[in-house]
Amino acid sequence: MPPPRYAPPTPARRGAGMPRRATAALVQRSGAMPQPKTGGSVAPRDPMRHEKGHSAGSLRKRRDRQLGLGATLRMRAERQAKLARALRKSRELRRVALRTDRIRPDMILAFTTQRNERIRLPYFLEYYRRLGVGHFLMVDNGSDDGSADYLAAQGDVSLWSTTASYRAASYGVDWLNHLQWRYGARHWTLVVDVDEFLVYPFCDTRPLAALTGWLEASGRRSFGAMLLDMYPKGPLSELAYAEGQNPFEIARWFDAGNLCITRNARYRNLWIQGGARARVFFPDRPRAAPALNKTPLVRWSRSYAYTSSTHMLLPRGLNRVYDSTGGELASGVLLHAKFLDTQASSLASRARAEAARGEHYGHGREYAAYEAGLEAAPDMWCDWSTEYINWRQLEILGLMSKGDWA
Amino acid sequence: MIGAGENSAGTLGIVMLCHTALDRAQQVARFWAAGGCPVVIHLDRSVPGDAAKELRAALADLGAVRVIQRHRCPWGRWGIVAATLDATADLLAANPGVRHVALTSGACLPLRPVAEMMAWLAERADTDFIESVSVHDVSWTVGGLSVERFTRWFPFDWRRQRWLFDAAVEVQRALGLRREVPRPLDPHLGSQWWCLTRVTLEAILNDPKRRRYERYFRHVWIPDEAYFQTLARRHARRIESRSLTLAKFDRNGRPHLFYDDHLQLLRRSDCFIARKIWPQAERLYDFFLTDKVAQGRPVNPQPERIARHFARAERQRLEGRAGLYMQSRFPAETVTRDKTAGPYAMLCGFSALYPGIAKWLSDAAGTRVHGHLYARERVEFAGGARVWNGALSDSAALRDYNPRMFLTNLIWNTRGERQVFQYAPQDATDPGLETFIATDANAHVAIISGGWVLGFVGRDPADPEVRRELAALQKSELALLERLRGPEARAQVRIWTLAEYLEAPDDNLALMLAHIAPGAEASKPPERVALDWVGPFVASTRNAGLPLVTLGDYPTGAAPASGGWRAPE
């Protein structure tokens, strides 16, 4: 039989020779996008995401607009596939310390994946306890620095551990989706990495419960908080971070006004790139720079699922954390303390290790860029870097907004 | 407590309507009682028995506080008024010394000492404080219902059965169903929270037609904002149409909450009571439920500051900050208002004619003058800087990734300082960017069309490669001109052809300056480049089949038609 004249390399075809793992099949059937790493990930090279380009993606996008129902059904299928996948992936999790019986009905819950972040943990937990997070549900991904033991000893932490692949679990999203599905429903849930610190309007005087109460009264189910990359002045290795220290004593500079924003018509979220990471590490290929938009705080329901780190959620309505008629919705910022020398593994050596491990999005492409960048230009600081003061400063600079929460 | 007149002690009674945060309500009731006010708390009947018992037990030591629990009080329904009527009747019957009664909620917080409030009210013994506005004159109500609150039936709950609620109203409108307002009432609306005199309240409670009115108001929508407001108009001797309770509502009709950080704002308002207080606002409760807040002088409430505070927030929510594109404000392209944060200027063709234009302009106009921001190799920030305000990079790739946001970022980051930049078809032009600028009312554009041709000095017009380049650039410029003249253009545009401009270059330069920086002082014009090669160059391309139309009718002979221009000496 002659070969077919046109045979698109469908995923099913490509996967035919491989062991038939349900994982692969499901992802592909749902058309899920490549999953960036949780916390500062690389923008997927997905044509759908960009306005131009005559790819299958943009054609599908056009069709979506015409057939609202079709899009809705497709989204629903994608969401359900995501949830099914999370359920299956949950088998990789092993309970280490289960204290979920301590969760009270109106508690705010934090969900986190971590690997070898022992030195960061004390301040992370303290920061969110002070804001009023009631319980931490954490997944330890094969740490060997004692962080699992440390977490297991905390009275307000429930810990799961796994040595399975972070990448195969959609960069941790599947694990957390499952934990949220199981324990997060009807709670306000906060999904953050250990190097992400939520700043919201009035966070110095009002606990998180004030914010969630107000959001709920205003009929909002989700709250956007963009990543803001913080960095020190001078080479990263010059100032070492000490356990328990506020990381922003060291990494207290940021880029105030160089973001790129486009609207993602498919998921209705904003796609934000730019900032210090794009300026320093991706000046020649901004498209590959990490996405900064995040929706970390959501009043969870069992039918919700994060699709791509905390950048996007389904159902799509949860991604509408912005106003498109000229007004401002309330929003916050996740201060990102990634660029910090945490001794145990300086960022450069960490970047080397992670680039080699290839467990992060795009096979650690982002870390490869850091490795190259950090060796070439270890100083991210520039003449127009802004020194962090407080949330009011971020509000005035237009990085976040009070909206009508006064 | 400061020396309020003893004669005013016990003259103020408090009715509290409570359904949640009972520990806070208890705290506030104690405060009122300690100040000598009799208090009647009405608990919503849906409060579970345990909680009610707990509250009663906690207040058992206070003789002046009575807790009753009679009616269910869903939002917007009659129960709230019934509860208020019962509690008020109880209060008046048990306390003959009471001359004013204030209606409060469990989330209200007294901001000034009780004695001050009593003394203040004692001086206004005949005055009823109730916001009461004729429905025929206002439209501040939620949901667009104002007069119709009084003339329709409302069998459904607005919060839980919104769809049915709306449908019922629509049906009644369609069928022309109307209720009669019982005579002689004149419907008035206003804040639920009032402070009325005993005389007025007794007149309302003992009104011979009270049953009739109650039957009617039972089916008025949100009767707690109408019943007393309407009847006070009938019975009061002197109404001050404002509430002594400071309460601010957002555009959805939800009350704004007060938190710890509002302490100073509340303190300086000199209002007597504020609502609604966030139950966990420890500092507010600690501060205001002590006598620290005594003013010591009879100041009048001034809620305007707080009103402004919340009005500002509403404006930020609805209008946002002009020219800001961020994670929670991303106006669609169809929003034509405030596309950028402030006025800026784009110059085309000037830098080719005047190499020193940037320095000259920044001296003359006192503005920031950049080179070609969209130059292909890199961003030409003023002074050759590598980064600009807001850490804006000079990388061409970053800029070209989103040329429009590069511009809006620049204008936002330099708020308060006018930016001027050069633009030419040779740059990394972008149709989207050009459309954006053309439709932006903040843009001041001055163009010498064809000016970019001066960049071809020394090039051979006979070379077909050069002609191809020229043709492409001219096409690009024509497209820009078309966008600037398009029906949706809002930019302020001034266009000369090169030929026109050179007829009176110095005058035109002054016009350009006045266009982009009104009021600037023009100094001696900068040097122009030599132009003697241009005529032959234009003629040559024209004869080779490429007319350079954007230059205008450029004189191709040896000498210009009018003596206005010549090569600089």
Q: DSSP states of B461-520 as a string?
A: TT-HHHHHHHHHHHHHHHHHHHHHHSTT--SEEEEEEHHHHHHSHHHHHHHHHHHHSTTP
Integer Cα distance of B34 and B118 in angstroms? 13
Could A329 and B329 be called an inter-chain contact, meaning their C-beta atoms sit closer than 8 Å? yes
Domain-embedded: residue B206 = yes
Residues B310 and B376 in one domain: no
Could A385 and B391 be called an inter-chain contact, meaning their C-beta atoms sit closer than 8 Å? yes
For residues A63 and B253, which has the higher predicted lDDT (pLDDT)? Answer: B253
Residues B379 and B310 in one domain: no
- A158 has pLDDT over 90: yes
Residues from chain B contacting residue A382 (CB–CB below 8 Å): 386-387, 391
Domain-embedded: residue A38 = no
Domain-embedded: residue B176 = no
The Cα-based distances of B36 to B56, B104, B386 in angstroms read 19, 16, 71
Half-sphere exposure of B346 (CA within 13 A, CB side): 25
Residues from chain B contacting residue A379 (CB–CB below 8 Å): none
Could B409 and A283 be called an inter-chain contact, meaning their C-beta atoms sit closer than 8 Å? no
Domain-embedded: residue A282 = yes
Where does a domain end: B283, B300, B318?
Answer: B318
* A32 touches A82 (CB < 8 A): yes
- Span A182-197, mean pLDDT? 95
Integer Cα distance of B93 and B510 in angstroms? 84
Interface test with A, best of B328, B402, B404 (most A CBs within 10 A): B328
The Cα-based distances of B397 to A272, A274, B375, B376, B386 in angstroms read 16, 12, 11, 9, 14
Per-residue confidence band for A67, with pLDDT thresholds at 50, 70 and 90 = low
The pLDDT score that the predictor gives to residue B296 is 62
Domain-embedded: residue B216 = yes
The pLDDT score that the predictor gives to residue B294 is 63
A335: β partners = A197, A228
- B164 has pLDDT over 70: yes
Inter-chain CB pairs, A–B, below 8 Å: 182
Integer Cα distance of B519 and B490 in angstroms? 22
- Span B168-182, mean pLDDT? 87
Integer Cα distance of B246 and B205 in angstroms? 26
The pLDDT score that the predictor gives to residue A46 is 35
The single residue listed with the structure tokens 């070492």 is A240
* B491 touches B485 (CB < 8 A): no
Domain-embedded: residue A405 = no
Which residue does chain B place closest to A265, by CA atoms?
B332
Domain-embedded: residue B3 = no
The helix or strand, by DSSP H or E, that contains position B150, with its residue range, turns out to be: helix B148-151
Residues B314 and B354 in one domain: no
Residues B354 and B302 in one domain: no
The Cα-based distances of A138 to A74, A117, B143 in angstroms read 31, 12, 45
Residues B502 and B379 in one domain: yes
CA distance, residue A227 to nearest chain B CA (Å)? 10
Residues B210 and B92 in one domain: yes
CB atoms within 10 A of CB B560: 16
For residue range B55-82, what is the model confidence (pLDDT) as tens digits? 999 999 988 899 999 899 888 889 999 9
Integer Cα distance of A149 and A96 in angstroms? 9
The single residue listed with the structure tokens 């551990």 is A161
The pLDDT score that the predictor gives to residue B144 is 61
A224: nearest CB among B260, B280, B328: B328
The pLDDT score that the predictor gives to residue B411 is 96
Could A328 and B317 be called an inter-chain contact, meaning their C-beta atoms sit closer than 8 Å? yes
Per-residue confidence band for A375, with pLDDT thresholds at 50, 70 and 90 = low
The helix or strand, by DSSP H or E, that contains position B431, with its residue range, turns out to be: helix B431-438
Which residue does chain A place closest to B412, by CA atoms?
A257
Total domains present in chain A: 1
Identify the weakest region by mean pLDDT among A141-155, A288-302, A374-388, B142-156. Answer: B142-156
Integer Cα distance of B327 and A332 in angstroms? 9
Range of the domain at B95: 10-143+187-318
- B484 has pLDDT over 60: yes
Domain-embedded: residue A153 = yes
CA distance, residue A131 to nearest chain B CA (Å)? 13
- Span A341-369, mean pLDDT? 67
Total domains present in chain B: 2
User: Between residues 199 and 228 of chain B, which touch chain A (CB distance below 8 Å)?
Assistant: none
A136: β partners = A110, A157
Per-residue confidence band for B140, with pLDDT thresholds at 50, 70 and 90 = low
Helix B79-94 to helix B227-235 angle (10° resolution) is 50
Could A218 and B252 be called an inter-chain contact, meaning their C-beta atoms sit closer than 8 Å? yes
Q: Does B332 touch chain A (CB under 8 A)?
A: yes
Max mean pLDDT among A20-34, B236-250, B431-445 falls in B431-445
The Cα-based distances of A142 to A63, A93, A108, A341, A350 in angstroms read 43, 11, 26, 21, 15
Which residue does chain A place closest to B309, by CA atoms?
A406
Name the token pair of B554: 């450029």
For residue range B360-410, what is the model confidence (pLDDT) as tens digits? 998 888 889 999 999 999 999 999 999 999 999 999 999 999 999 999 999
CA distance, residue B318 to nearest chain A CA (Å)? 4
Q: Does B460 touch chain A (CB under 8 A)?
A: no
CA distance, residue A8 to nearest chain B CA (Å)? 30
The pLDDT score that the predictor gives to residue B524 is 86
The pLDDT score that the predictor gives to residue B273 is 93
Could A402 and B313 be called an inter-chain contact, meaning their C-beta atoms sit closer than 8 Å? yes
Task: Identify which of A280, A360, A370 has the alpha carbon closest to the alpha carbon of residue A39.
Answer: A360
* A141 touches A340 (CB < 8 A): no
For residue range B22-34, what is the model confidence (pLDDT) as tens digits? 999 999 999 999 9
| Phi, psi torsion values for A13, nearest 5 degrees | -60, -45
For residue range B347-373, what is the model confidence (pLDDT) as tens digits? 999 999 999 999 999 888 888 999 999
Half-sphere exposure of B88 (CA within 13 A, CB side): 26
Domain-embedded: residue A293 = yes
Residues from chain B contacting residue A209 (CB–CB below 8 Å): 280
The helix or strand, by DSSP H or E, that contains position B100, with its residue range, turns out to be: strand B100-105
CB atoms within 10 A of CB B540: 15
| DSSP per position, B170-198 | HHHHHHT--PPPPTT---EE--S--EEEH
Average pLDDT score over chain B = 88
Domain-embedded: residue B456 = yes
* A304 touches A198 (CB < 8 A): no
For residue range B535-566, what is the model confidence (pLDDT) as tens digits? 999 999 998 889 999 998 888 865 444 434 44
* A91 touches A84 (CB < 8 A): no
Q: Does B310 touch chain A (CB under 8 A)?
A: yes
Share of chain B above pLDDT 90, in %: 61
The CATH number assigned to the domain holding B265 equals 3.90.550
- Polymer length in residues for chain A: 406
Is B471 buried (19+), middle (13-18) or exposed (0-12) by CB count in 10 A? middle
Residues B424 and B287 in one domain: no
The pLDDT score that the predictor gives to residue B181 is 85
Alpha helices in B227-262 (DSSP H): 227-235
Which residue does chain B place closest to A269, by CA atoms?
B327
- Span B490-510, mean pLDDT? 93
Range of the domain at A282: 91-300+311-319+329-396
Interface test with A, best of B327, B386, B436 (most A CBs within 10 A): B327
A328: nearest CB among B328, B338, B393: B328
Residues B403 and B308 in one domain: no
CB atoms within 10 A of CB B289: 18
Segments of B229-388 assigned E as strands: 238-240, 245-247, 273-275, 344-348, 368-372, 387-388
Residues from chain A contacting residue B332 (CB–CB below 8 Å): 324-325
Helix B431-438 to helix B403-413 angle (10° resolution) is 40
Task: Identify which of A149, A191, A150 has the alpha carbon closest to the alpha carbon of residue A172.
Answer: A191
CB atoms within 10 A of CB B15: 25
- A373 has pLDDT over 90: no
Domain-embedded: residue A98 = yes
User: What is the dihedral sign for C-alpha A261, A263, A267, A269?
Assistant: positive
**Vertex A381 angle, CA A378 and A383, to 5°:** 140
The pLDDT score that the predictor gives to residue B8 is 62
The pLDDT score that the predictor gives to residue A259 is 95
Could B257 and A214 be called an inter-chain contact, meaning their C-beta atoms sit closer than 8 Å? yes
Per-residue confidence band for A160, with pLDDT thresholds at 50, 70 and 90 = very high
Could B391 and A382 be called an inter-chain contact, meaning their C-beta atoms sit closer than 8 Å? yes
Domain-embedded: residue A5 = no
Per-residue confidence band for B128, with pLDDT thresholds at 50, 70 and 90 = very high
The CATH number assigned to the domain holding A224 equals 3.90.550
Average pLDDT score over chain A = 81
Residues from chain A contacting residue B326 (CB–CB below 8 Å): 226, 259, 261, 331, 398-401
For residue range B301-343, what is the model confidence (pLDDT) as tens digits? 888 888 899 999 999 999 999 999 999 999 998 888 889 999 9
3-state secondary structure chain A: CCCCCCCCCCHHHHHHCCCCCHHHHHHHHHCCCCCCCCCCEECCCCHHHCCCCCCHHHHHHHHHHHCHHHHHHHHHHHHHHHHHHHHHHHHHCEEEECCHHHCCCCCEEEEEEECCCHHHHHHHHHHHHHHCEEEEEEEEECCCCCHHHHHHCCCCEEEEEECCCCCCCCCCHHHHHHHHHHHHCCCEEEECCCCEEEECCCCCCCCHHHHHHHHHHCCCCEECEEEEECECCCCHHHCECCCCCCHHHCCCEECCCCEEEEEECCCCEEEEEEHHHHHHHCCCCHHHCEECCCCCEEECCCCCEEEECECEEECHHHHCCCECCCCCCCEEEEEECCCCEECCECHHHHHHHHHHHCCCHHHHHHHHHHHHHHHHCCCCCCCCCEECCCHHHHHHCCCCECCCCC
Residues B275 and B390 in one domain: no
